[in-house]
Structures are given as structure tokens and as C-alpha cells.
Structure 1
Amino acid sequence: MGLRKIFSLLVLDERGLSIAINKKRKLLALDINSRFKHTIKYGPFKGMVFSQDHWWGASDRSAMLLGIYEEEILNSLMSIPSKYNVFVNIGAADGYYSIGSLVSRKYTMSYAFEMSAKGRDIISKNATLNKVSEKLKIFGEATKDFYKEIPKKHVDKSVILIDIEGAEFSLLNREVLEQIKKSIIFIELHDWIFKDGKKKLEILMKEIRPFFKVSTLRTASRDLSRFSELSEYSDSERWLIASEGRPRLMSWLRLDPK
């Protein structure tokens, strides 16, 4: 069903539009998933296979299979010096990064922290499908002592990706940052979900600056013309395939050791 038809069946208020868009994104994701046989076809994680089950981000699967999901982060991860060959994902969801990092062969060991039991089960299934189980360790929710679960020699050469829906402000403080100050860290920011988000971010930045150089990444454009598989989709469908369904323009901090 086309977008115009869906929209015509709904009251065109903000909620109705959101429902229609989410429904269409899920349908497109199912279609791309079937066409690509649950396998990432492009980008640094090319060849990674997903199980048919999922815990998080089912609507994002199209962009993942095309290798353009959070493309800014992907490109930055792949540009990191080779001595950083351990990947740590806090908020690992279905294991896209935890397993994809190993499939890329840029990283030789991966640690996944995921609070959801179903998420951890799916990460394990996906690791088995991709034959990387021996290189991946899966944990529950990350606490302020999460780095103690990882050998110190791995912490010091790790890339840490944190995406925990606002909990980054309670997880990271000066003591934690000092323990991981040799790592390269990416933080997806969710300050905008809090009334005092500006203050939370200011406090976090004050804690970060003694140990790290800080740069900011933001969602940028996507070139969809390079994918012949999308040529028969409408313009609206192509952009929904690329959409990450976010409520606003997202940004990430990249922290490099001083």
C-alpha cells in the first residue's frame, strides 16, 4: 500500500502520520529483509546475517542491510587506528555493532552489554549464525563498574559505543572516565529527553574534558542512487527505507584520548 493511500485512511494529525510512517517502514523492512535474505549486503559489516527474530529496531533493518544505518558512526569506527581492535557496545540491542564489528575483521574481540534478556538471547543467536561466538562476551545491564568485566589490556585498546537512551548521564562520571581514558568512546546523546538536559550535558562535558578530545557527529545525507535494488521503489519509499525513525536530528560525541 502506498503512502498516499495510507495517509488518506487516517486522520492527518501528528499521531496519525506517525502511525502511518512507522507501519510503512516496518513493511519496507520486511520486504528488504526478504530480498536480502537477512544479510547485510553493503558497507563495513557486509556479510553479517540476522536471525529472523528481533528485539530492537525492526524498522531500521532496511538501512542496516544497505550498510547506511548510522553511517556517520560506521565510517568513524572504520577510520580508527588499528591498535584499537576491541569493541565494547553498551546498549547492544540485537548485536548489530557487537557482531558487525567482528564480521568487519577490524576488531578481534567484542563485549556486549544489554539489559534485555530477550536482546541478549538474540545477540547470542546472531553470534552463532555469524560464527563469532568465541570472540563475543555478552553481559547484562552496564553499571559504573562495567569496565571491570573486561581485561584491562582490552579496555586500553577498546572502542566503546554507548547508546542507552539517556542513561549515559548516570553511567559516566569522572571516576569511570578515568578508568577508560585510553579508549576511544562514542556516546549517542539523549539530553533532549530531559527537562534539565542542557545542565546534564554541561556536567558530562566538564567530566570528559580532562581526559579526552571531543568531536561531534551528526546524522547527514544518504546517497540512495547507488543501490540498484531500490530503483523500483517510489521516492517516498526510498527515503523511508533510509530513515532511522528518529524524533529529531541526532548527535554523538566522539572522545579521543588526550
Structure 2
Amino acid sequence: MIAKILRAILPARLRPSGYLENLVRTHTDGRIRCGPFTGMRYNAGADGRVHLPKLLGIYERELNGCFEQACALNFPLVIDVGAAEGYYAVGMALRNPKARVIAFEAESKSRVALGEKARLNNVESRVEICGKCEPEDLKRALMGTQRPFLICDVEGYEAVLLNPAAVLPLRRAFILVELHEFIERGITEKIRERFVATHKIAQIWQQERTIADFPFKDFYMRWLPESYLHWAVSESRPERMSWFWMKPIHATA
């Protein structure tokens, strides 16, 4: 009821959602506020509202340690499958100026947004943008590199792509994969079984976001229902998610 009243009487920029978006963009100047990609220029694009958690630096913050490790390892090749609008592909190109980045993304609208973000951050010459990734595409991308870093978020298609029997170079890759149990039950154990002999596997669980994660306060926000702050920091996941951070056994202590 309150939301309907506010929409009826307030201009878009003063409606709760628009106000929070403007507040975040003003305070961050359109740059990611904290985390492994601090300072990266980030405009709203194909990802829609999820750009707020990214600008705030809290998007998938459970993985910050993984990305700091990855940056310290100075991978010559970073492959991002399911790159969306380029948060990780562009971020890794910024953090690793000597790395080549290959970004696979099936959606044309997202590929356009990815290209825009690469240009916005002056890394377009090192980010190769490709379409949908099939096992043969992944095999070709991995060939010839002894220490590749693979980021994978493909809405359940990891069951097809992450098969070292079909894509042999996966055995030497460092892999960070989001697991989509809500799409295919049992996929977590399936992936674990495929890599347990060759990789050290750590499972990382999604953490809850709260209104305390929204760092900017002003007088107007005192009157906002808390649901809007939850909206601003939420990643809108269907259930609690997890990731595997998989490092080749021969490359770990």
C-alpha cells in the first residue's frame, strides 16, 4: 500500500528505488566502492538492479578471498563463462594488466553491455568477447595455457561444460564455479566427483545480506520501509547458493 502511494505522488527520482539508486551512484561516482575491483567504473546495464550491490562492493563478497588469491597468482589467461555484463571479466582485466581475458556470454544484450564496460575501463584490447560456450569452445580456449583461471556461472550448464573427461585441460585449471542446485539437483556432488582426484576443492556458501550492508544514510531514509533497503542489497537468489573454488592439487601445498 505504501509503495503504491509513493509511486503515485513522487517523481521517479524521489521514489524509494530511484532515490536509492541515485544515492548510491552519487556517493560512489559510478565506481565500485570496495572489494577486489575497487575503483572499477560500473554503469547500469543488462544486469538491471543488481548493479547496486556491485557498486556497493558487496556483490558475491563471499568470493573476495578467491579473487584476491587469483590476482596474486598472476594468471596469464582468465576465462569467464557466463560473463553477463562483465563484472568479473572487466574486473580481472583491470587487476591483472598482463592477463588475456576471454569472456563467453550467450545473451547479445549482455555482450553489448560487457563491451561498454570494457571500453569504459580502457581494457577492451585485452577482453575478447565471445558467444555461447560449448565444451569444444572451452577446450580450445584452454589449450596452450598451463595455468588458466576459469570463472563459470552458467545456470546449470556447468554439468555439461565442467567435464574433464571431455575437456582435458580442465585438469590443470583453477576453477571458480557457481553451483545451481535449484536447476539440477545433485549437480554439486556430480562436479565434486569429477574433480576430487585432481583438485583441492573448497565449498563457499552464500551469506545473508542485511540492511546494515547499505552504507549511506540520510534524513529521507528514516522514512523508508526497510524492505527497500533489503531490495537495494539483495542479489535476488531463489535459494541459498554455493560455489566451488577448485585448485589443481599439483599447484597447492
- Label 1:226 to 1:193 Cα distance change in 2 as closer, same or farther (>3 A): closer
Residue of structure 1 equivalent to 2:3? 6
Aligned pairs, number: 236
C-alpha contact (below 8 Å) 2:90/2:117 kept by paired residues: yes
5+ residue gaps, structure 1, are 10-22
Report what 2:103 is aligned to.
112
**Which residue of 2 is the match for residue 207 of structure 1?**
194
Match of 2:178 in 1: 188
**Given the alignment, which residue of 75, 78, 81 partners 1:87?**
78
For structure 1, which segment, 90-99 or 32-41, has the greater mean C-alpha deviation from structure 2 after superposition?
32-41
RMSD: 2.9
TM-score, structure 1 normalization: 0.79
How far did residue 236 of structure 1 move? Answer: 4.4
- Structure 2 residue corresponding to 1:247, chosen from 213, 230, 238: 238
Amino acid at match of 1:191: E
**CA shift for structure 1 position 47:** 1.9
Displacement of 1:152 after TM fit? 3.2
Matches within 5 A, 1:157-172: 157-172=147-162
Matched residue type, 2:230: W
Rate the CA distance shift 1:225–1:55 in 2: closer, same or farther, 3 A.
Answer: closer
Conservation of the 8 A alpha-carbon contact between 1:212 and 1:257: yes
Any idea what the Cα deviations from partners look like across 1:150-200, whole Å, max 9, x if unmatched? 36344x322211101111112222324531211110111112223xx12x4
User: What is the aligned counterpart of 1:128 among 119, 140, 162?
Assistant: 119
Q: Can you give the 5+ residue segments of structure 2 that lack an aligned partner in the other structure? A: 7-14
Q: Deviations 1:48-100 (Å, cap 9, x if unpaired)?
A: 11345x122x2211110111100111221112342434321100000000001
Q: Give the Cα separation in 2 of the matches to 1:226 and 1:51.
A: 20
Task: Sort the Cα spacing of 1:25 and 1:77 in 2 relative to 1 into closer, same or farther, 3 A.
Answer: farther
Greater alpha carbon shift after TM alignment, 222-231 vs 141-150: 222-231
